[in-house]
Structure 1
Amino acid sequence: MKIVKHYSDDFKREVVQHYLSSDDSMQKTADKFKLAVPASVGQWVSKFGGEFRTAVMNKSPEKPKTETPDTHEGMAKRIKELEEALERERLMNLATNKMIDIAERDLNISIRKKSGAKQSKK
């Protein structure tokens, strides 16, 4: 008789977040969270992975103001806005690189352009 474990959506999201934010493979992630079937991680990434992409990548940055603030408070607010925009861009870059790394590793395809003169044509 087959025993089926049911996990909460919060637990699944935690697993997906760990998988996407680390360099662990599906197997390592499954081992860390004591999952019997590593393929569950892939299924959960398909189901919940978009939530993390949406939260990080689809958040539209605020348009920078062209006028320079004159007061100390205005400058501090502008610095905070710029720091938040920079952090969003860093997270977007991290998510994009992680997605490329996972695709290259799991799907065994080459995505990044190789540098140098000797590039094979396909």
Structure 2
Amino acid sequence: MVRSACLSALLAVSLAVGGCASASRDLAQRAAEEFEAAVASGRPERVCELLTERAREGVDCSSLELPRGEVREVVVWGDAARVRTDDDTLFLRELSSGWRVSGAGCHAVHDRPYECEVGGP
């Protein structure tokens, strides 16, 4: 009886954690898609709103030209995420205001951190 109750409790916790991870993944993906759409449609105010404060430093949001594409992979680690599209890698952070892009136009460099056109990982 106790064993059954413990297994039920473990299953409930696993489902709750899995549900949170899935929700975070969905929200990070949505933010990345919204960012890319704002860049593509020339909406600089929205582009800047979707960047973290640090990523905005030294960036002219009205003249960003970044690779775009469909989202292929979203990986979330707590309050950080990496979103890979057909032609780009974006890094996001979860802030009190929601998911924001901390790095865009990023590409891997062998044995080194990603290099990004905007912000960084």
**Please, what TM-score do these two structures have when normalized by structure 2?**
0.35
Q: Which has the higher strand share?
A: 2
Q: TM-score, normalised by structure 1?
A: 0.35
